[in-house]
Amino acid sequence: MKSSNLKNIALLVLLLVNVMLVTLLWQGPKAGGGRGPNPPPPRIDNFLNKALKLDKTQQATLQRLREEHFELTKELHEKARASKREMFDALTSTTPDTVLANEKALQAALVQGKIDKALIAHYMDILEICSPEQQAELRKVFRKAIRRPPPR
């Protein structure tokens, strides 16, 4: 009887520990008020304001340009994601359709081209509001950003 009671107690303790661990994993790293392992990246406009030493007028213009750029590209990003989703849907169906998948891949690529052209125009708009010294610093910032791998 004694070993049976000991086994039951051990089983109950293991069950409780398991439930607690699953609960902690389910709640994620932010449970308990922590910021988690990766704090959010600093806002790029604050970074540019400091790196380029923009005055108040330039900061306001940059903010307006950013809002316009993101409003323009938001719909394009949604279209690109939709095309990629449709591409994978065509591939993962019970009868994979590679012709449709290739068409959707091409659509996504065309939309990505529009996004890249919008980025070029946005960069040129930012260059216009900068002094020659600020333009040189902006070029350095963009070169560093291009070399850096994307965040995960």
**Per residue in 3-59, pLDDT tens?**
777 777 877 777 777 777 777 777 665 544 555 555 555 556 677 888 888 889 998
Q: Residue 31: what pLDDT? A: 47
Q: Residue 148: what pLDDT? A: 66
Residue 85: count of CB within 10 angstroms of its CB? 12
Q: Which ranges in 93-131 belong to alpha helices (H)?
A: 98-129
Unique residue bearing structure tokens 């409003």: 71
